[in-house]
Amino acid sequence: MKLPTVSVIVPVYNVEPYIDKCLASLVAQTYPSVEIVVIDDGSQDHSGEICDRYAASYAQVHCLHQSNHGLSEARNRGLHLAKGDYLMFVDSDDYVEEQMIERMMEALLQHQADIAVCSYWLEYPFFTLRKTMAPYQVWGQKEALQLLLDNRQVENFVWGKLFRASLFEGILFPDCRFEDIYTVCKAFTKAQRVVTLSKRYYHYVQRKGSLTNVHGLFVKEAAFFDEMRSAFVYQEALLKKLYPDIDWDAHRNYYMSELMALSSLLFVQKMNAADYQLTMIDLTKEHWYKRLCYQLLFHAVQWRFGNKVDVVQKESFLSKITYI
């Protein structure tokens, strides 16, 4: 019996120090039926040459070069070219364990699921953190969506997941930051079963200069938080529209967004403070120590900037979305 093929989509842009380790981990996969679709999105370093070398050496690697159009367009190009029965996305500065695809396919096929989700490692320059996700379990559609909205045991990253390819029919990545939140949520709404694996198979590399860490690992610019809030507000609104009988609650995402924004505001220059906005959130749903943490940061920002930072309703960010 022929094994289903897994297409791994790898968008590449100026990751010369990382791409070799990424591709080496993919060609070493123990699952025998894999195609690796590499999209070089106009790299200006030697990333494209490294990709070509792998394509010349391994029949399962296919490399396409294009002018720079951004991460979403590169992934969408990969979706167009992928021929597999299942899809996996790997960022080109990350790497995976060699049994990742085999173990996730085993779980997916055993439980007749549409999506498999694994845990991961957070790789910082000088240390590694273990990310604990959901236990080994099979979830129904609405249960899985609740987990995704909660964004803890199942997170909104597109990587670390194995998807039935048909879920992506009619779905593309929008041209914005936090594109994963929009896209993964849509795929989950089409999945009847999701299986989670507690074992860590993915290595998520944290580095300055990546798309989510342009200004460093801890300081983000104002637009970063605006786009994050817009994505979470859209996700909650979509689920409420599709399943109005369920009380969808994304308060944890809003809380974490504001906590990150407040933390960044402690370090930005005063001349840039007016670019930032904070949103009104319901702290009554948080534990006392979380409320205290928020209040301490909020008062510290007020002490530093006075009234330079506006506080607005979170729904205002929904009207800013122009790329869906």
Query: Which tens digit of pLDDT belongs to each residue from 222-261?
Result: 899 989 999 999 999 999 999 999 999 888 999 999 999 9
- The one-character DSSP state at 93 is T
User: How far from chain centre, in Å, is Cα 154?
Assistant: 11
Domain locations in the chain? 6-205, 222-320
CATH superfamily of 6-205: Spore Coat Polysaccharide Biosynthesis Protein SpsA; Chain A (3.90.550.10)
Angstrom distance (rounded) from CA 151 to CA 255? 12
pLDDT for 108 equals: 97
pLDDT, residue 133, reads: 86
The first and second tokens of residue 199, run together, are: 């074992």
- Higher-scoring residue by pLDDT: 299, 75: 75
Per-residue confidence at 268, pLDDT binned at 50, 70, 90? confident
Q: What is the pLDDT of residues 95-143, one digit of tens each?
A: 999 999 999 999 999 999 999 999 999 999 889 999 888 999 999 999 9
Closest CA to 25 of 102, 123, 94, 124: 94
